Amino acid sequence: MLWWAWLLIALAVYCLITAILCLRFPETHIDWNQVNLEELTFPTDFSWGVATASHQIEGHNQNNWSKFESERGIEVSGAACNHWNRWETDFDLVESLGVGHYRFSIEWSRIQPQEGEWNEDALQQYSKMIDNLLARGIEPMVTLHHFSHPIWFEEKGGFLNQSNIHFWADYCERVFTALSDRVTNWCTVNEPEVFSIMGYHMKLFPPGKGSIRKTIRVMKNVVMAHVTVYHSLKALRPEARIGLAKNITIFDPLHRWNLLHWLTTFILNYIWNGAIISAFTKGRMFGRRIPKAKGSLDYIGLNYYTHALVSPFIPQTIEVDLPKRPHEIMTEFGYPMYAEGLQRSVELLKPLKVPIEITENGVADSEDSLRPEHLKRHLWVISEMLKQGFDIRSYYHWSLMDNFEWAEGYSLRFGLYHVDYETQVRTLRKSGEIYRKIIN
Ligand code: FCB
């Protein structure tokens, strides 16, 4: 055959493969002008909540993060929202939103500041906080690890060493024993993929390493840590509901006609989403067996923020805005608002066959000009999914109030309440009022 005939065949095959991929993996876009965002239907037992994390709000924590902040010369968390001293009035804010649920995390470095040293006062304070929430009719969801842990644990190699898992398990059992008589919903770890990729590949979280091999090892160990703790806590109290919070980022090829972009999409999707899902559905991730992972989730927490348009040349930094489709709105975090991805995320989690709790969703928006629309679009998507029969039980807005946004410091504001860090005055934003209205 002539060379150009071969070329034509190759071209036809290329086009066929791209066409199949485009059809098989559509990038959903809704014409929001055609949608009535006021039309929301939620069952009466749907759980409404807000979420926070210890290191982002408590203030003056001494942990892997505070160490990283000073060593790297990034913005320090410092007093944060001084929530450790203001928790009671902060719970007034939670209550006045009308939510019945509050997700927050326990700071391991407060409970166990040194190896073998337990701080009963700190545990007592968390216990008081729980009593206080319950007295207000607010059900707590407790996260046991939300990115931060004691410096001594980090110095032992943290989750890079499988042999360190028992340290974390000890802490979890201690907290669980003290609080599980009143707390039903437990979230073992927050975003194992974000924790490992940001900390061991992108150098943006502690310990600031840049190694794919270590990233994979940490991700696997964190999943194993969850599995260990799931089984040990269930043995202590079988009626507890235990899961973890998984960040789902939807990956889409920047150019849908480019097979290299598709290939990048599949690789990133596996590393970020697929590997962890596979641990719980098949008992394997990255080709390795994860014993007892199957059946170690009573629910899956979903943290959803955006989709990423990828090519093999994506920048490995958050200083640059990610690409967006022309009609999409860019958020202050540098990624687009893409509420459609919430349904795609829920579909990705479907093979786990457990109820879904939306443990985080929100937007960085200092002027509160985008948040009302962002909130309504995402709630509309959930409302539609509920009509389609998806088992979604709750929605926790990220976040109750502005707080320390990790590598971005205080520049990004996610709160339903604005926080003036000078005076520690909290002020309800318009979007907070909207959320309250919707809930009520
Ligand atoms: C999530 C984190 C949470 C917060 C939001 C914006 O990845 O779990 O702590 O920083 O992003």
Ligand 1 nearest atom to the CA of residue 194, by list position: 7
pLDDT, mean of residues 233-243: 98
Domain contains 23: no
Domain limits at 144?
Answer: 38-439
Please indicate whether residue 414, judged by its CB atom, sits closer than 6 Å to ligand 1: yes
SS3 at position 433: helix
Ligand 1 lined by 247 (C-beta under 6 Å): yes
Question: Does position 239 have pLDDT exceeding 80, yes or no?
Answer: yes
How much distance in Å is there from the Cα of 403 to the middle of ligand 1?
Answer: 10
Structure tokens, 44: 């009466």
Kindly give the distance from the C-alpha atom of residue 229 to the centroid of ligand 1, in angstroms, as a whole number. 22
The reported pLDDT for the residue numbered 318 is 61
User: 3-class DSSP state for residue 213?
Assistant: helix
Whether pLDDT at 320 is above 90: no
End-to-end CA distance of the chain: 72
Share of the chain above pLDDT 70, in %: 99
Write the pLDDT tens digit of every residue in 276-318: 999 999 999 999 999 999 999 999 999 999 999 999 987 666 6
Tell me the whole-structure pTM to 2 decimals.
0.98
* Alpha-helical segments (H) within 43-102: 54-57, 64-72, 83-97
Q: Is the CB of 302 under 6 A from ligand 1?
A: no
Residue 105 Cβ inside 6 Å of ligand 1? The answer reads: no
Looking at the structure of the chain, the number of domains it has is 1
**CB of 404 closer than 6 A to ligand 1?**
no
Q: What is the mean pLDDT of residues 159-169?
A: 98
Nearest-CA residue for ligand 1 atom 9 is 53
Instruction: Determine if ligand 1 sits within 6 Å of the CB of residue 194.
Output: yes
Q: pLDDT tens digits, residue range 369-425?
A: 999 999 999 999 999 999 999 999 999 999 999 999 999 999 999 999 999 999 999
- How high is the pLDDT of residue 2? 85
| pLDDT, tens digit (0-9, with 9 covering 90-100), for 44-72 | 999 999 999 999 999 999 999 999 999 99
CB of 406 shorter than 6 A to ligand 1 = yes
pLDDT digits (tens, 9 = 90+) for 321-377: 889 999 999 999 999 999 999 999 999 999 999 999 999 999 999 999 999 999 999
Q: Tell me the CA distances in angstroms from 313 to 27, 254, 261, one per residue in order.
A: 20, 10, 9
> Ligand 1 centre from 11 Cα, in Å?
43
CATH number at residue 354: 3.20.20.80
Q: With a 6 A CB cut-off, is 249 part of the ligand 1 pocket?
A: no
pLDDT for the residue 317 = 64
Give me the pLDDT at residue 321, please: 81
3-class state of residue 253 by DSSP: strand
- Round to whole Å and give the CA distance between 201 and 215: 6
- Residue 130 in any domain: the answer is yes
Instruction: Say what the pLDDT of residue 314 is.
Output: 72
How far is the centre of ligand 1, averaged over its atoms, from the C-alpha of 361 (Å)? Answer: 9
**For residue 61, is it within any domain?**
yes
- Let me know if residue 31 belongs to a domain: no
**Is 363 part of a structural domain of the chain?**
yes
- Test site for ligand 1: of 58, 65, 191, 333, most ligand atoms within 8 A of the Cβ: 191
Does 167 map to a domain? yes
**Closest ligand 1 atom to Cα of 406:** 10
CA of 309 to the centre of ligand 1 (A): 20
Ligand 1 atom, smallest distance to 362 CA:
6
427 membership: H or E segment, kind and range: strand 425-428
Does residue 16 lie in a domain region? Answer: no
* Averaged pLDDT, 253-280: 98
Residue 20, domain member (yes or no): no
Task: Give the CA distances from residue 140 to residues 187, 198, 242, 314, 320, in Å, rounded to whole numbers and listed in that order.
Answer: 11, 28, 13, 39, 37
